[in-house]
Structure 1
Amino acid sequence: NVPLVVEIGSGLGEAMAHRAAEVPEHDFLAVEVYTPGLADLLMKSAANGSQNVRAVQANAPEVLDHFLEPASVDEMWVFFPDPWHKKKHHKRRLVSAHFVDQVASVIKPGGTWRLATDWQEYAIQMRQVIEADGRFENLNPGPLATDSAPDQGWAPRWEGRTLTSFERKAREAGRIPRDLTYRRRTD
Structure 2
Amino acid sequence: MTFAGIVLAGGAARRMSGVDKPELVVRGSSLLARALAALAGARPLVVVGPARPGYPGVVWTREPVPGTGPVAALAAGLGTVGDAPVTVLLAGDLPGIRESTVERLRAGLTGDVDGAVLLDAAGERQWLAGAWRTAALRGALPEAPENRSLRRTFGGLRIAEVVAEQGEAEDIDTPEDWARYR
TM-score (norm 2): 0.39
Bigger Cα Rg: 1
Structure with the higher fraction of residues in helix conformation: 1
